[in-house]
Amino acid sequence: MNELEILRRRLEREKKARQAAESIAEEKTRAIFEANRGLQRLNESLEETVLQRTAELIDARDLAVEANRAKSAFLASMSHELRTPLNAIIGYSEMLLEEARESEAQRQFREDLGSIQSAGRHLLSLINDILDLSKIEARKMELFFERFDIRGMIDEVVTTIAPLAEKNKNRLIVTCPDDIGTMKSDLTKVRQSLFNVLSNACKFTANGEIELVAERQRHDGAESILFTIRDTGIGMTEEQLAKVFDAFAQADSSSTRHFGGTGLGLTITRNFCQLLNGRIYASSKQGEGSVFHIRLPATPAQPSAVPEPAADPAPAQAPRTVLVIDDDPAARDLICRNLARQGVRAITADGGLDGLHAAREQQPDAILLDVLMPRMDGWSVLTALKTEPALAEIPVVMVSMLEDREMAFSLGATDYLTKPVDKEKLQAILDRHCQPHTARSVLIIDDEPAVRDRFRHILSKQGWQVTTADNGAAGLAALADAQPDLILLDLIMPEMDGFEVIAQLRRDARWRDVPVVVVTAKNLTVEDRLRLNGAVQKLVRKTDSGLSELPAILGDVFPAEEPAAD
Ligand X SMILES: Nc1ncnc2c1ncn2[C@@H]1O[C@H](COP(=O)(O)OP(=O)(O)OP(=O)(O)O)[C@@H](O)[C@H]1O
**By CB under 6 A, how many residues form the interface with ligand X?**
22
DSSP-assigned beta bridge partners for residue 225 = 216, 296
Q: Which is nearer to Mg ion, 280 or 469 (CB)?
A: 280
DSSP 562: P
2 binds, among Mg ion, another protein, ligand X, none (CB under 5 to 8 A by kind): another protein
Site string for ligand X, 178-217 (x = CB under 6 A): ------------------x---xx--x-------------
Among 265, 297, 463, 484, binds Mg ion (CB under 5 A): 265
- Cα dihedral 498, 504, 509, 510, rounded to 10, equals -60
- Nearer of residues 74 and 248 to ligand X, judged by Cβ: 248
Closest by Cα among 282, 101, 87, 268 to 188: 268
* DSSP designation for 140: -
DSSP conformation letters of 307-353: PPPPSSPPPP-S-EEEEEE-S-HHHHHHHHHHHHHTTEEEEEESSHH
Determine if 200 is a binding residue for Mg ion (CB under 5 A).
yes
Closest to ligand X by CB, 196 or 348: 196
Query: Where is 280: in which H helix or E strand?
Result: strand 279-285
CB 269 within 8 Å of CB 108: no
Pick what 6 binds: Mg ion, ligand X, another protein, none; C-beta below 5 to 8 Å, kind-dependent.
another protein
Which of 1, 9, 165, 166 is the binder for another protein (CB under 8 A)?
9
HSE toward the beta carbon, residue 9, CA cutoff 13 A = 6
Contact range with Mg ion by CB under 5 A, out of 28-36, 196-204, 239-247, 317-325: 196-204
Is residue 265 part of the contact set for ligand X (CB under 6 A)? Answer: yes
How many CB atoms within 10 Å of residue 177? 12
Nearer to Mg ion, 86 or 161 (CB): 161
CB of 4 to another protein, least distance (A): 12
Distance in Å, CB of 286 to ligand X, minimum:
9
The single-letter code of the amino acid at 528 is D
Q: Which is nearer to another protein, 10 or 37 (CB)?
A: 10
Question: How many other β-carbons are positioned within 10 Å of the β-carbon of residue 256?
Answer: 16
DSSP 466-507: EEEESSHHHHHHHHHHS--SEEEE-S--SSS-HHHHHHHHHH
Query: Which contiguous run of DSSP H or E holds residue 200?
Result: helix 187-203
User: In this structure, are residues 290 and 198 in contact, taking their beta carbons and an 8 Å threshold?
Assistant: no
Residues in 225-254 at the binding interface with ligand X, rule: CB under 6 A: 231, 233-236, 244, 249-251
Nearer to ligand X, 227 or 416 (CB): 227
Q: Do the bridges between strand 222-231 and strand 209-219 make them parallel or antiparallel, or are there none, so unpaired? A: antiparallel
Least gap, CB of 250 to ligand X (angstroms): 3
Q: Which does 264 bind (CB under 5 to 8 A by kind): another protein, Mg ion, ligand X, none?
A: ligand X
According to CB under 8 A, which residues from 14 to 43 bind another protein?
Answer: 14-18, 20-21, 24-25
At closest approach, how far in Å is the CB of 15 from another protein?
8
Q: How far apart are CA 196 and CA 190, in angstroms?
A: 10
Helix (H) or strand (E) run with residue 566 in it: none
Whichever of 16 and 171 has its CB closer to ligand X, that residue is: 171
- Provide, rounded to whole angstroms, the least separation between the CB of residue 259 and ligand X: 6
Residue 294 is given by DSSP the state: E
Q: Are 351 and 374 in contact (CB under 8 A)?
A: yes
Q: Write out the H or E segment, with its range, that includes residue 183.
A: strand 182-185
Instruction: Please tell me the distance from the alpha carbon of residue 469 to that of residue 479, in angstroms, as a whole number.
Output: 10
Q: Which residue number, 168 or 299, has a Cβ lying nearer to ligand X? A: 168
If the CB atoms of residues 4 and 552 are measured against another protein, the closer one turns out to be: 4
Instruction: Report the residue closest to Mg ion, judged by CB.
Output: 265
Give the shortest CB-183-to-ligand X separation in angstroms: 24
Name the residue type at position 492. I
Q: Which is nearer to another protein, 23 or 253 (CB)?
A: 23
Supply the minimum distance, in Å, between the C-beta of residue 204 and Mg ion: 9
391 contacts 414 by C-beta, under 8 angstroms: no
Strand partners, 284: 290
Per CB under 5 A, the segment of 23-31, 200-208, 240-248, 506-514 that binds Mg ion is 200-208
Q: Which stretch binds another protein (CB under 8 A): 11-19, 48-56, 493-501, 523-531?
A: 11-19
Q: Is 120 in the site for Mg ion (CB under 5 A)?
A: no
Q: Which stretch binds another protein (CB under 8 A): 6-14, 53-61, 159-167, 538-546?
A: 6-14
Q: 25 or 63, CB closer to another protein? A: 25
Would you tell me which residues interact with another protein (CB under 8 A)?
Answer: 2-3, 6-7, 9-10, 12-18, 20-21, 24-25
Would you tell me which residues interact with ligand X (CB under 6 A)?
Answer: 196, 200-201, 204, 231, 233-236, 244, 249-251, 256, 261-267, 290
